[in-house]
Structure 1
Amino acid sequence: MTIRLGYQMPNFSYGQPVRDLFPTVLAQTREAEAAGFDTVFVMDHFYQLPGIGTPDDPMLESYTTLGGLAAATERIQLSALVTGNTYRNPALLAKTVTTLDVVSGGRAVLGIGAGWFELEHQSYGFEFGTFTDRFHRLDEALQIIHPMLRGKHSTFTGEWYHTDDAMNEPRIRDDLPILLGGGGEKKTFALAARYADHLNIICNASELPRKMDALHQRCAEIGRNPKTLDVSFLAFLIIDENGDRAREQQQDMFSANGVDLSALSAEQRRQTPADRQFAGAPDEIVEQLQTRVFAHGVNGLIVNMVTNGHEPGAVALAGRTLTPLVS
């Protein structure tokens, strides 16, 4: 099953007691499953990200959370968007995601990226290294993980990792999908062309034409048909039957970070996260996505709903609105 419409939960600050946190996550997942989303994602972070909250805001460990969701859902695929490669030994990660696949009956996706949040590395004692280091590590990790997900033993010696006849049993299948996430036109896209089944592009919407051109170049460099690599875009969705209310929520989110969105010019907005946000009523959202995203050759969409996704009915509204765009 491919990823055409995904729902990401990057925010666990629901104003509830901790004991109610996971039930709210589960409720969103079940609502997404019923509303036509094919995949649900959680972030692989230990602290909340800048722009969404503060480091001490609630953040659940991803694979424990996904295991809990697997036992309480039936059809929806499960993944991190994306697993930080620096946080886990790659052979162990292959075992972890394969176990999730077994537990869920074949619904796991390995979403993976190089890692970037330096504060988490410092706090938890993980080596951060340079930008180049992290991509060398990701390349080596994929050389270990890819065969282990395909039923092969892994023997590898690199600068960062090594394995010696590493086995990965049991498995339900030998084609567990690999998703790379990011916007790096040289390193991330090159690794996606070599190893991935799916690329989730994370960038401002105005950058998409250049990103798609770069991806086609990376595929051409290794002789891969770009049509064999599914591509989605990560969008921040603020949807409400009342479009003005949705735009007010967007303005409030920026105001909380000290930015008056209404004072920015169109060019200034393109330089901010507002350029990857889609706010309004359902018909407005459809028009925005068609012109700003799907017109550039993207064939999938992953959305998060930071402002109101935890409110009952919000994910269902998004599903009704978005499913026709990806069917």
Structure 2
Amino acid sequence: MSIRLGYQMPNFSYGVAPRELFPAVVAQAREAEATGFDAAFVMDHFYQLPLLGAPSEPMLEAYTTLSGLAAATERIQLSALVTGNTYRNPPLTAKTVTTLDVVSQGRAVLGIGAGWFELEHQAYGYEFGTFTERFEKLEEALQIITPMLRGQHSTFDGKWYHTKDAMNEPRVRDDLPIMLGGGGEKKTFGMAARYADHLNIICNATELPRKLDALHARCDEAGRDPKTLETSFLAFVIIDEDGDRARKVQSDMFASMGLGDLSKLSAEERAQTPADRQFVGSPDEVAEQIKTRVLDQGIDGIIVNLVTNGHEPGTVELAGKALAPLVHA
């Protein structure tokens, strides 16, 4: 497994009828596959997230969507970024992602996290619990899921989950990759050091040096060489052949979210806002920003979403051609 360049679809608000929605998703995945992206991701949510849109905006169920994409693509890896552990019993998660791997002929990745969106839990009747409880559940889940992905039976008697000789057949391989996603320097990074093949770090870009120091510390505690844990950064990209037009889109988006006038913020103030994880401008400008602010900091790869215009034909290709040379050299 290697994900040096990934493409995440953070929304399905394309202004089209429901019957036209999935073809637009397929078009993006195919465009990503043809342009050098290693993996395509969808979110595992039931409602749209705060700052990205209203809860009532379109949201497709992750694994049904990924299975459809498996039939519509040939090479690109497929994953949720990330699976909410609280939404499924862990053996079912193992079965679901393994089935996706069979359907895609070995292209599935299990991206997984603790879960955090309280509104979804309340609306759908899932127990939300405390922050500590959700991470306790995730650690137990990983102890169940990992052996099931490797062809072993799972018998586990924990605080939250219980299995008895749980089997997981069929499988096309015993090394289906596990990716953790998040920015928690103790819990998430600690579990990544113990269980994961890949860590997608979600934070503001100025925080990356501290995040990497914390990750190396967690690897040391786990007795793991940090070079064996691949890393990526989740970047929000607004790209246009006309860099000024891209910056205008960013400015308008900030105003629409009630975050004020971006042009009036100092560099220190911008670092405390979502703008610090955004990369905006022409293809050359975006590539330089990502190289300097992310890859040169020691991150292995980049997962981008094109939150404002990824569904517009040609936009994914524009990003891929700009970024693939940075990570596939």
**TM-score (structure 1 length as normaliser):** 0.99
Structure 1 segments unaligned to the other structure (5+ residues): none
What letter corresponds to residue 293 of structure 1 in structure 2? V
What letter corresponds to residue 287 of structure 1 in structure 2? E
1:95-110 correspondence to structure 2 within 5 Å: 95-110=95-110
What letter corresponds to residue 213 of structure 2 in structure 1? D
| Structure-1 separation of matches of 2:202 and 2:213 | 15
What letter corresponds to residue 280 of structure 1 in structure 2? G
Aligned residue in 1 for 2:82: 82
For the residue of structure 2 that corresponds to 1:100, the secondary structure is helix
1:1-20 correspondence to structure 2 within 5 Å: 1-20=1-20
1:55-66 correspondence to structure 2 within 5 Å: 55-66=55-66
Aligned residue in 2 for 1:281: 282
Aligned residue in 1 for 2:306: 305
| Structure-2 separation of matches of 1:291 and 1:305 | 19
- CA apart distance, 1:53: 0.1
- CA apart distance, 1:214: 0.2
Q: After the TM superposition, which segments of 4 or more aligned residues of structure 1 sit over 4 Å from their partners? A: none
- CA apart distance, 1:131: 0.3
What letter corresponds to residue 277 of structure 1 in structure 2? Q
Residue 207 of structure 2 is aligned to residue 207 of structure 1: yes
| Structure-1 separation of matches of 2:38 and 2:287 | 19
| Structure-1 separation of matches of 2:117 and 2:29 | 26
| Structure-1 separation of matches of 2:189 and 2:305 | 22
| Structure-1 separation of matches of 2:77 and 2:39 | 4
1:1-327 correspondence to structure 2 within 5 Å: 1-259=1-259, 260-327=261-328
Report Cα offsets for 1:252-304 as digits up to 9, x if no partner: 11111112211211111100010000000111111111111011110110000
| Structure-1 separation of matches of 2:42 and 2:288 | 27
What letter corresponds to residue 122 of structure 2 in structure 1? Q
**Alignment coverage as a number of residue pairs:** 327
| Structure-1 separation of matches of 2:32 and 2:148 | 30
For the residue of structure 1 that corresponds to 2:14, the secondary structure is coil
| Structure-2 separation of matches of 1:222 and 1:19 | 48
What letter corresponds to residue 140 of structure 1 in structure 2? E
| Structure-2 separation of matches of 1:212 and 1:9 | 26
For the residue of structure 2 that corresponds to 1:71, the secondary structure is helix
Report Cα offsets for 1:173-211 as digits up to 9, x if no partner: 000000000000000000000000000000000000000
- CA apart distance, 1:133: 0.3
Report Cα offsets for 1:5-63 as digits up to 9, x if no partner: 00000110011111111110000000000001010000000000000000000000000
| Structure-2 separation of matches of 1:210 and 1:242 | 34
**TM-score (structure 2 length as normaliser):** 0.99
| Structure-1 separation of matches of 2:253 and 2:175 | 40
- CA apart distance, 1:247: 0.5
| Structure-2 separation of matches of 1:252 and 1:325 | 29
Structure 2 segments unaligned to the other structure (5+ residues): none
| Structure-1 separation of matches of 2:318 and 2:76 | 17
For the residue of structure 2 that corresponds to 1:134, the secondary structure is helix
Percentage of pairs with the same residue: 77
What letter corresponds to residue 272 of structure 1 in structure 2? T
| Structure-2 separation of matches of 1:293 and 1:78 | 23
- CA apart distance, 1:142: 0.1
